[in-house]
Structure 1
Amino acid sequence: MISIHSHIDDIAAADWDALAGKQPFISHAYLAALENTGAVSEHNGWTPCHLAIRDADQQLTAAMPLYRKTHSYGEYVFDWAWAEAYQRHGLDYYPKLISAIPFTPVTGPRLLAQTETTRKHLLAAAIAIAQESGDSSFHLLFPPAIEASLAQDNGLLSRHDVQFHWLRGDWRDYADFSDALTRDKRKKLRQERRKVSDAGVSIIRKRGSEISEADWAFFYRCYSNTYLEHRSTPYLSLAFFLQIANAMPQSCLLVLAYQDGQPIAAALNIIGPDRLYGRYWGAAWGPAGYVGNLHFELCFYQGIEFALEAGLDAFEGGAQGAHKLARGFVPVATQSAHWLAHPGFSDAIDQHLNREREAVASWQSELEQHKPFKPSPSQ
């Protein structure tokens, strides 16, 4: 039996998490925090309509995070041009249906099921809902490769992009990692870190219960400042961060920068079972003013150090940013899958995506030639 739920709390947390696995962003607690604090709501253009499939004994056998959208903000798979094309032809692109983690460009499971057959049922159910509701389209954003392949095999259009991730090598610690870089890149990283230290800045990493409410309040001030600097409005509230701090404390890593004993900047990371995710950063500069390279220190180098110390396999520093390549990150492919109700637009976008995938593959190949590491002895 398939059901649609307007709030994640309509589905038992234990049942959802049993299907979702251990990635923090797909957890019931994370999705509930988004909804309970109003970041995800009909008012904000994100209407939850989560899918659940239950067997004859009412046991949850499959689920999907699903939202009806009236805009394309907070997705990081940019379809503004598609919406404009619809508008030029007198058609409505919104509302549309998406399966994604709001405001979170992180690859992870979306079709929460144990078998391929049940995953197909979830895909088919989502498309059926879009058709019945008159939605223009259905979008599966940042699925893992197995789900992206399944979607493509079942007729969805495939879109590719590139992010930059730090991937663990055979390094014991940060010194080993640094030594693996080319001479120029190693020198650049050391100079950037030294400038932060020479500015009298000290760094403290706090995890879980070590993070106080005052720390969270300061972080939120910094987070908000980042949006204000770009003349934008934060998606998330302090209440959201306090809720995840309470519900999933060991997943939270806060990196704080101090100067003259006062906090001046902060970066939030989320810890998964095998990787670290860089999420938000900001600054509230002290009397000494702006500190160059502090963003790189808090958002990149501290994360790499922590990942090495914690034995994590990877560190995802967020969407986009080719500048990460020079700082130890490498290009990694991401995918999305798309179904469009209008046959003409579906064909046109399919042709566009074929060309776009070729361009993305070429770009990724070029980026591979500029990795910051010394050649291995076998090369």
Structure 2
Amino acid sequence: MAASNCCCSSTINLSTPFLGVRRRRRLVNLASDRCFRPMKVPPKVIALLWGPKRTAEHRKDNPSLGTFPLTGPPSENLSSAGVRPLEVCVSVLSSISNVPSKDWDACAMDATGPEKLNPFLTHAFLSSLEESNCAVKETGWLPQHVIAQDQFSNVLGVVPLYLKSHSYGEFVFDHSWADAYYRYGFQYYPKLQCCIPFTPVTGERILVRDAWFKDQVFSILVQALKKLTEKYQLSSLHVTFPSESEWHKMNDFGFLQRIGMQYHWKNRNYNNFDEFLMDMKQSKRKNIRQERKKISIQNLKMKRLRGDEIKAKHWDSFYQFYRNTTDNKAFLTKDFFHIIGAKMGDHVLLIVAEEEGELVAGALNLIGGDTLYGRLWGCLPRAYYPNLHFEACYYQAIEAAIELKLKKVEAGAQGDHKVQRGYLPVTTYSCHYIVDEDFRRAIQDFLVHERDQVKQVMKLLNDSGPFKVGLD
């Protein structure tokens, strides 16, 4: 059957220790929740494979993934101690606490450059997720961070990596892929996920020191990730929200390429919010002014708190706002917010709204080298404040970025309502290593059609954008 715009076709061999040998079937319609043609499988078998969410199986602690030689001109390539690295040893760590923060952060800083510091890649942020029991085995996020060291135990590169027993908290959706695997008697979980948990923020994922060996270490680490996937006998490895350059490089290593879409605001060297408004079409400018005016009419007072200005009471209140917004199905714990407040200092910006001195809403942002990252929002459940979400999450973030002279605000995924408020669509990336060849072909066909659809939507949104004609 030829693939149409909404389906992909491939053939798989249904040999599995759970179901025995089955005849070959064709995979179809991977784009929908009903990904494949239904097959008659005894209900008990489906229950065995699909059943309740399982915790990722614990593997051998800190397995070695091998030692690899480094090659380079002998006249250079000396370390600060005058010794040249000759080899790289790659291993897996069960906690980021096993890596000194200065070594992890040196890799992260070299990967991005200080001018583009990504706070989510720091040891402080990632260790906060583990210490607060957010990204741990019990929640389906078993840390399996990969580290590359030379023969003198100097850290040359690191990779944030997790063994996952589900697909929650990733923001690149593969639930239909998992469903397809289970319909055919294959196990999709656990899988390996290279990402920042609960954080749809683009950034480097293969964090390597900026030295003569960086290309070699990058290649060694990517190959090690694939080797680990096969060593654990997993279905797949996923690298979500990598940089565009990493996305292109990983295509050469057999990873499938996927794109998505987010909404970012661009600072065109504005001195204040009004200058930004003057770049917008008259109708959009008028609408934003009316929305902002409603905040003062409701006797709401907006504050931007940073670093030591954020007290324990603010985090306690914000956690309640966050739980309310997530219908009490929160991935992050109260401890997490207190820990990042203590560890990350001035990189944290909490925007709050007060009514007669009472905190009623808040929006959490992190400050990077050139970007303000909008992350979480929440408010009290008992009242409705028209336009407060727009004010706290979008307009206050724009004002803060202008004040801090940052180049952009990343407002995250979902919500084309952001376009009319100055946030335009940009491309996001992910890479997927699917072990089974037949499933890989089927998913690849689906991704080709999906990519065309994403590009078409982005073009339509940009063509109907809120800015005056001629702005870059």
Q: Same fold (TM over 0.5)?
A: yes
Partner of 1:244: 340
What is the CA-CA distance between 1:136 and the residue it aligns to?
0.5
Give the 5 Å matches for 1:366-377: 366-376=460-470
Q: Residue 69 of structure 1 corresponds to which residue in structure 2?
A: 164
> Are the aligned partners of 1:67 and 1:97 in contact in 2 as well (CA < 8 Å)?
yes
With normalisation by structure 2, the TM-score equals 0.78
Q: Is the 8 A contact 1:182 1:374 kept in 2?
A: yes
Q: Is the counterpart of residue 8 in structure 1 residue 107 in structure 2?
A: no
Task: Give percent identity, aligned residues only.
Answer: 40
1:298 to 381, 392, 395: 392
Mapped pair 1:88 → 2:180: no
2:463 aligned with 1:364, yes or no?
no
Which residue of the other structure, out of 433, 446, 470, is the alignment partner of 1:339?
A: 433
Contact 2:162–2:192, Cα closer than 8 Å, also in 1: yes
- Displacement of 1:11: 0.7
- After TM superposition, the score normalised by the length of structure 1 is 0.96
Pairing of 1:204-353 with structure 2 (within 5 A): 204-228=303-327, 232-284=328-380, 289-353=383-447
- Kindly indicate whether the alpha-carbon contact (under 8 Å) linking 1:265 and 1:285 is maintained by their aligned counterparts in 2: no
Q: Secondary structure at the match of 1:195?
A: helix
173, 177, 189: which one aligns with 2:272 = 173
CA-atom RMSD in angstroms? 1.2
How far does residue 285 in structure 1 lie from its aligned partner after superposition? 5.5
How far apart are 1:170 and its partner, in Å? 3.4
One-letter amino acid of the counterpart of residue 325, structure 2: T
Q: Which residue of 2 aligns with 1:147?
A: 246
Letter in 2 for 1:148: W
Contact 1:264 1:285 in 2 (8 A): no
Deviation at 1:117, TM superposition (A): 2.1
> 2: distance between equivalents of 1:361 and 1:290?
36
More helix, by proportion = 1
Post-superposition Cα deviations, 1:114-167, rounded to whole Å, max 9, x if no partner, equal: 322211111110110010101100011000011111111221100001100001
* Cα contact 2:324–2:381 (8 A) shared by 1: no
Q: Provide the residue aligned with 2:43 in structure 1.
A: none
Helix, strand or coil at the partner of 1:203: strand
What is the distance in 2 between the residues matched to 1:344 and 1:129?
20
Corresponding position of 1:45: 140
Tell me, in whole angstroms, the C-alpha distance in 2 between the residues paired with 1:225 and 1:160: 31
Q: Counterpart of 2:278 in structure 1: which amino acid?
A: D
Look up the match of 1:30: 125
Aligned residue type for 2:145: H
Per the TM alignment, residue 371 of structure 1 is displaced from its structure 2 partner at its CA by 1.5
Deviation at 1:375, TM superposition (A): 1.3
Aligned length: 373
Matched, 1:56 2:151: yes
Greater shift in the superposed pair: 49-58 or 107-116? 107-116
Q: Which residue of 2 aligns with 1:200?
A: 299
**Mean CA deviation greater in 219-228 or 293-302:** 219-228
Rounded to whole Å, the distance in 1 between the matches of 2:352 and 2:206 is 36
Instruction: Name structure 2 gaps, 5 residues minimum.
Output: 1-88, 110-116
Contact 2:305 2:349 in 1 (8 A): yes
Whole-angstrom distance in 2 between the partners of 1:53 and 1:262: 49
**Greater shift after overlay, 356-365 or 341-350?**
356-365
8 A Cα contact 1:182 1:372, kept in partner: yes
* Map of 2:36 onto structure 1: none
* Structure 1 unmatched runs, 5+: none
